[in-house]
A and B are shown apart, each in its own frame.
Chain A
Amino acid sequence: MRHKKRMVYIVDGARTPFIKASGKPNALSAADLAVAAAGPLLARQPFKAKDIDEVIVGCVGPAADEANIGRIIALRLGCGHAVCGWTVQRNCASGLQALECAVGDILKGNHDLVLAGGTECMSRAPLLYSTALVEWLTSLRTKNLASKFKAVLKFKPRFLKPVIALEQALSDSIVNLSMGQTAENLAYRFNISREEMDAYALQSHQRTIAAMELKQLEEIVPLFDWQGNVIEFDTGVRRDSTLQKLATLKPVFDKPFGSVTAGNSAQITDGAAFLILASEMAVKRYELPVLGRVVDTTWAALDPAMMGLGPIHAIQKLLSQHHLSVHDIDYWEINEAFAAQVLACLKAVQDEEYVKTHFGVKSVLGDIPLTKLNIDGGAIAVGHPVGASGARLILHLLHVLKRNNARLGVASLCIGGGQGGAMLIEHVSEVL
């Protein structure tokens, strides 16, 4: 008998609504959000939380009291002392990385049932003391009264200016560009206008609203904030958005002449998304429904200043490894970090010079039509809680494939620092 290859199935998934950061810290922490998503997810399974083999969580910036947030989440979900939990960080693709690690552990035969996903609480990103202030405070620790007095006099008001952790996290210290500025780079390289960006952004909102009204976002579980409120849907989606309104927004990153605005960028949000991955044995043992299977994952790296094209690099690798063409893929999810960045990806795959220089191939990859891409909107409308987005894309893509009775889907993200990740999934409803 031929040895059967192990396969990895995704059996279920859930996410919280994504909560827009409004300036002040939101009520729930990254671990709280993860429990709010994964708790109900586990509750509806026929197995117990303790039957999970491990928990893997993508999170870029856990709070100071959330070191190895993966283990914290596993314990808080009631998985018990004996279930390992760990955390992965690959910036914007941390959630995808968590899924890939789960796939790897199942393929290796280490585990049969893994809870994986991501969580992020961007609204609670801290303000930090400046180094200058810390140095000044340390200089006060002298016993000599005279030198203490001298040290006190050295205080300057600018010491009090806090370091905004989130601002730093969303910047690339290697090329000294903010993420928005890398998007401006792409707009410049592929000649993408402000109007194109705004039109794309508007479409994202409209598609999300349509999906919401058709109840096609069933992966969302209601989020209770323990302050008497329940949130049923992503709070950043705007019903009242128009091209005129978008046109009035000022550029945020390249002031005053740039074209990347808050309106055509992913929103800063809090949220969590989790999936349950299972081996064939686990599916059979617990009689689990099957949403799809993970075929493969690829990662690629490129110039950090052009990080927004990361998806194309990962997708090219993924397709060529599986001898697939762009046309073989039924549905696409490319994370909308910036409208300019998604549009640049669509142009790059058709740009002979780009594919030749970077992939060494003569023919372009082919057209990714907007009718197959992000058909229910994306991060510009719902937000991009960095650790969670990868898991959200896969979860949603599975639902899109199921709904349209389609087979193959690819979800991909650009990654700050100059990388891209892509995962190929196949919609199946039972074990193969």
Chain B
Amino acid sequence: MDEFFHRNWSSIRDEANIAWLVLDKTNMSVNTLNAEVLEELHSLLQALQKDPVPLGLVIQSGKRSGFIAGADVQQFKDLETSDAAFNFIRQGQIVFNYLADLPFPTVALIRGFCLGGGLELALACRYRVAIDHYKTKIGLPEVQLGLHPGWGGTVRLPRLIGGLKAMDLILTGKTLSAGEAYKRGVVDAAVPERQGLIAARHFIQKQPQPRVAAFVEKLTNSNFSRSVLSKILQKKMALKVNKVHYPAPYIALEHWREQGVESDSAFMNEAKSLSQLAVSETARNLVRVFHLQEKLKRLEPEVTFKPEHVHVIGAGVMGGDIAAWCALKNLRVTLQDQNEQAIAKALNRAVLLFKKHLKQPYQVKAAMDRLMPDVKGMGIKKADLIIEAIVEKVEAKNALFAMLEQEAKRNAIFATNTSTIPLSELTQSIKTQMRLIGLHFFNPVARMPLVEVIAGEDTEETIVQKGMAFVRAIEKLPLPVKSSPGFLVNRILLPYLLESMLLLEAGIPDEAIDKAAVEFGMPMGPIELADTVGLDVCLYAAKSLSHYFGGALPVGLSKRVEQGQLGKKTGQGFYQYKNGKLVKKKLSDSYRLPEDILDRLTMSMLNAAVACLREQVVSDVDYLDAGMIFGAGFPPFRGGPMHYIAEQGESLLLQRLNLLAQRYGQRFVPDVGWTTLKIS
């Protein structure tokens, strides 16, 4: 038995003369591909070509966390020029081409994530065996970082399963389970873990005919099909992705249309195309967002805390959806509300959520069993964590916490989902204050990754740490925030919403306002967002924030709330809704938006962001940007509000702000924070 040792790979030859290459990157919890890993692989593969040539090669991971997560994103960030990027990409292509040309059978044995460069490595093998495990995720998610595959993915995947099916993966970045990957032909087998090694050996020893694209699949790669299909795909994509903001999928599609998959020049063009994208502003910002996300994930503290039982009080939209999310993430949850109908509706939403996220009916059932309706509040005595999401009234919350202090376990943690009320106002009891944190979720809970974790002045540090650990346990991103009115996200978002309503009162059509915001890159315009959140909720938040920071309330908002027009939930807000769908009005083509509208919207946010930073609502620029991207949908390709300020230039923005202050008064007077603003 031969054994070679490298820093990242180990190589073993077994008694059946099968070579096994195991990637286990030194000092890393996750396998990613960088220049060193690729070099080592290259030399190992070259060594295999010498006598005695193995019967075959199996490549697998030595990490329980997964196969290969993709290229090392850090390495991409360090590539200054497109030439440097091109060289790195070509290096990978050369190694993978070498792997693909090996004269003996090769198998990628995949368990856990196999993404981006990881899948491209697997695609260069003759066979792929995926372990059917809930952690197994297979895909090419490069577009999510503003990139496209560069190590042969745009060529080998369409070759294998046809252009249409391949584009579905490449253009969306979606990932597949082992079973789905098998159905789509991306892997040759999806087997339970206990059969993994047997299956890998089977492919080496029996050498079945490798998968090739079926006739129709192959047809989609022809010149004619590509030109037709790419037009259709582009149209479809345009409905979801703005080409100006996110060019990567469009470029990937164009590359495939132009090059096809037959000639080797396709590889070269892939590398050229990606090397230009890699140094683009969008890609750099999206990579930054990826790092911000990792930064929040790493906030996971030393304490391990996974509550055995979570009790949620208030089965409204937020409470019900928080409870459902916790049950989805394997926690036992009781959902309390005096109103049985509210619980019934929440359970109905929950089962739809479970069906969407959990593929198997037995898993849906198990999630339903974890979520128990609790009209009488039986869960209070047993819960390790109690989250209140009742009506935003200080008196009601005071009474609730007084009751909880009496009834709950002595070591239970209390959390509030209040969106505006500072923690110190929720209870007079110092005992309660010590174990109270804010866990501020965003609507819709299932889609918004951020949870603001708010420490009150008297909250014990370990309780805050446990709150952070809980947020990670339910696979959300925790953002530590100081207990100040509106916390971070609402404090910044609300001035923007209110400004949009003032624009409305000034006679700007709602569609025009929303269109301007969406073109800036917001996921939804402010007027529609207000309607979605609920105008009563907006008004309440506006009132309580104006109590602390001053500022007038838009008359139109109060008026609508008085008339019971609360937005989407009542069918009528600023917009009209039919069956929960917005009734769109067509904006006249001749309408021209006044030039300072977008400034008024964005500067409202940016000015508030600067104030938050000055008050240290969050501890640094990264947290602020992360909070606004993951909690409010601030355009990721712009890298966050503070990053945007830095890119635009502080002095330029300050000028515009002063101009707005002259025109529209007090609310645009620059925060004093601008003078001391330092964004590295």
- Residues on A close to B: CB < 8 A? 35, 39-40, 43-44, 46, 48, 76-78, 222, 224-230, 232
Distance in angstroms between the alpha carbons of A204 and B68 in the assembled complex: 69
For A40, the chain B residues whose CB sits under 8 A away are 372-374, 378
Smallest Cβ-Cβ distance to A78: which chain B residue:
B332
Q: Please indicate the chain A residues that have their CB under 8 angstroms from the CB of B261 in the complex.
A: none
- Could you name 5 residue pairs across A and B whose Cβ atoms are closer than 8 Å? A40-B372, A43-B334, A43-B372, A46-B381, A230-B343
Q: Select A224's contact among B332, B347, B376, B382, beta carbons within 8 Å.
A: B347
Q: Are B344 and A76 in contact (CB under 8 A)?
A: no
A225 to B372, CA, bound (A): 12
Instruction: State whether A222 touches B332 (Cβ < 8 A).
Output: no
Give CA–CA (A46, B407) in the complex, Å.
13
A77 to B373, CA, bound (A): 13
Contact with B340, one of A35, A44, A48, A232 (Cβ below 8 angstroms): A232
- Docked pose: A70 CA to B620 CA in angstroms: 55
Q: Does B168 sit within 8 A of A, measured CB to CB?
A: no
CB of B374 within 8 A of CB of A230, answer: no
Main secondary structure of the interface of B (DSSP, over half): helix
**Bound: A39/B332 CA distance, A:** 11
B373 touches A224 (CB 8 A): yes
Give the chain A neighbours of B366 by CB distance below 8 A. Answer: 76
B window 350-392: CB within 8 A of A: 350-351, 365-366, 368-369, 372-376, 378-379, 381-382
A43 and B344 contacting across the interface, CB-CB below 8 Å: no
Closest A residue to B349 by beta carbon equals: A228
- The docked-state distance in angstroms from the alpha carbon of A211 to that of B332 is 35
A229 to B368, CA, bound (A): 15
For residue A168, give the distance in angstroms from its CB to the closest CB of chain B: 28
Q: Which residues of B contact A227 (CB under 8 A)?
A: 348, 351
Given A44-B378, A78-B332, A39 contacting B372 (CB threshold 8 A): yes
B residues near A230, Cβ cutoff 8 Å: 340-341, 343-344, 373
List the interface of chain B (C-beta within 8 A of A). Answer: 332, 334, 340-341, 343-345, 347-348, 350-351, 365-366, 368-369, 372-376, 378-379, 381-382
Q: Cβ of B378 and Cβ of A228 under 8 Å apart?
A: no
- Cα of A227 to Cα of B369 in the assembled complex, Å: 15
Bound Cα distance A230, B379 (Å) = 19
Cβ of A62 to closest chain B Cβ, rounded Å: 15
Q: Which residue of A lies closest to B341 (CB)?
A: A230
Report A164 CB to chain B, min CB distance, Å. 26
* Residue contact B369 to A76, C-beta cutoff 8 Å: yes
Contacts A39-B372, A43-B372, A78-B332 given; does A226 touch B348 at CB 8 Å: yes
Q: Is the interface of A mostly helix, strand, loop or mixed?
A: loop
Chain B residues with CB below 8 A from A228, complex form = 344-345, 347-348
- Is the CB–CB distance between A43 and B378 below 8 Å? yes
Are A222 and B340 in contact (CB-based, < 8 A)? yes
Q: Which A residues are in CB contact (< 8 Å) with B334?
A: 43
Provide the bound-state CA to CA distance between A43 and B309, in Å.
11
Q: Which residues of B contact A78 (CB under 8 A)?
A: 332, 369
**9 closest Cβ pairs, A-B complex:** A228-B348, A230-B344, A44-B378, A43-B378, A230-B340, A226-B351, A76-B369, A224-B373, A224-B347
**Bound: A148/B655 CA distance, A:** 88
Cβ distance A399 to chain B, nearest Cβ, rounded Å: 17
B345 CB contacts on chain A under 8 angstroms: 228
Q: Determine the distance from Cα of A259 to Cα of B303 in the docked complex, in whole angstroms.
A: 72
Q: How far is the CB of A37 from chain B (nearest CB, A)?
A: 12
Docked CA distance A44–B351 (Å): 24
B379: which A residues are within 8 A, CB to CB? 43
Closest CB of chain B to A217's CB: distance in Å?
A: 15
Report the nearest A residue to B335, measured CB to CB: A224
Give the shortest distance, in Å, between A41 (CB) and chain B (any CB): 9
Q: How far is the CB of A18 from chain B (nearest CB, A)?
A: 18
Q: Report the separation of the CA atoms of residues A376 and B381 in the bound assembly, to the nearest whole angstrom.
A: 33
Q: How far is the CA of A349 from the CA of B677 in the complex (A)?
A: 95
Choose among B332, B345, B365, B373 the residue with the greatest number of A CB atoms under 10 Å from its CB.
B373
Q: How far is the CA of A229 from the CA of B348 in the complex (A)?
A: 8
Residues in A whose Cβ lies below 8 Å from that of B382: 43, 48
Q: Judging by beta carbons under 8 Å apart, are A43 and B341 in contact?
A: no
Query: Which residue of the partner chain A has the closest CB to B332?
Result: A78
Chain A residues with CB under 8 A of B374: 40, 43
Contacts of B348 in A (CB 8 A): 226-228
Chain B, residue nearest A225 (CB)? B344
Distance between B281 CB and nearest chain A CB, rounded to angstroms: 47
Closest B residue by C-beta to A49: B332
A83 to chain B, nearest CB (A): 15
Contacting pair A224 B343 (CB below 8 A): yes
A228 to B340 alpha-carbon distance, docked (Å): 10
| A224 near B344: Cβ-Cβ < 8 Å | yes
> A270 CB to closest chain B CB, in angstroms?
17
Closest to B351 in A: A226
What's the Cα separation between A340 and B372 when bound, in Å? 41
> Is A44's CB under 8 angstroms from B376's CB?
yes
Chain B CB count within 10 A is highest, among A76, A227, A228, for: A228
* CB of B374 to closest CB in A, whole Å: 7
In the complex, A46 Cα to B378 Cα: how many Å?
10
Q: Which residues of B contact A229 (CB under 8 A)?
A: 344
* Min C-beta distance of B316 to chain A, whole Å: 15
**Cα separation A10 to B373 with both chains bound (whole Å):** 24
Residue of B334, B341, B347 ringed by the most chain A CB atoms within 10 A: B347
Identify 12 new A-B residue pairs, CB closer than 8 A, beyond the known A76-B369, A77-B369: A40-B372, A40-B373, A43-B374, A222-B373, A224-B340, A224-B343, A224-B347, A226-B351, A228-B347, A230-B343, A230-B373, A232-B340
B residues within 8 A CB of A232? 340
Q: Contacts A43-B334, A44-B378: A226 and B368 contacting too (C-beta < 8 A)?
A: yes
Nearest CB of A to B330, in Å: 12
Complex CA distance for A46 and B351, rounded to whole angstroms: 29
A48 nearest CB neighbor, chain B only: B382
Instruction: State the Cβ distance, B380 to closest chain A Cβ, in Å.
Output: 10
Give A228 to B334 CA distance when docked, in angstroms. Answer: 17
Q: What's the Cα separation between A39 and B341 when bound, in Å? A: 19
Whole-angstrom CA separation of A44 from B377 in the bound complex: 9
A226-B347 contact given A40-B372, A43-B382, A44-B378, CB 8 Å threshold: yes
Complex Cα–Cα for A76 and B351 (A)? 16
**Minimal beta-carbon separation of B613 from chain A (angstroms):** 44
Chain A residues positioned under 8 Å from B373 (CB to CB): 40, 222, 224, 230
CB distance from A429 to the nearest CB of B (A): 21
B351, chain A: closest CB distance, angstroms: 5
- How far is the CB of B319 from the nearest CB of chain A, in Å? 15
Complex-state Cα separation, A39 to B327, whole angstroms: 15
Q: How far is the CA of A230 from the CA of B345 in the complex (A)?
A: 9
Nearest CB on A from B642, distance (A):
43
Q: In the complex, what residues of A have CB within 8 A of residue B351's CB?
A: 226-227
Please, how many angstroms separate the alpha-carbon atoms of A76 and B372 in the complex? Answer: 12
Shortest Cβ gap from A85 to chain B (Å): 14
Cα separation A394 to B351 with both chains bound (whole Å): 34
Bound state CA distance, A230 and B348, in angstroms? 11
Assembly CA distance A224 to B334 (angstroms): 13
Residues of B within 8 A of A43 (CB): 334, 372, 374, 378-379, 382
Residues of A within 8 Å of B365, CB to CB, are 76
Q: Which residue in chain A gives the minimum CB-CB distance to B308? A: A48
Nearest CB to that of A77 among chain B residues? B369
Among A39, A229, A230, the one with the most B-chain Cβ atoms within 10 Å of its Cβ is A230
Q: Which residue of B lies closest to A221 (CB)?
A: B375
User: Which residues on A sit within 8 Å (CB–CB) of B341?
Assistant: 230
A294 to B: closest C-beta gap in Å: 25
Q: Which residues of A have CB within 8 Å of B369?
A: 35, 39, 76-78
Q: Kindly report which residue of chain A lies nearest to residue B381, judged by CB atoms.
A: A46
Give bound CA distance, A179 to B123, whole Å.
66
Report B-chain residues with C-beta under 8 Å of the C-beta of A76: 365-366, 369
Query: Contact check: which of B350, B368, B375, B378 meets A222 at CB < 8 Å?
Result: B375
B381–chain A nearest beta-carbon distance, Å: 8
CB distance from A289 to the nearest CB of B (A): 14
**Closest chain A residue, CB of each to CB of B344:** A230
A222 cross-chain contacts in B, Cβ below 8 A: 340, 373, 375
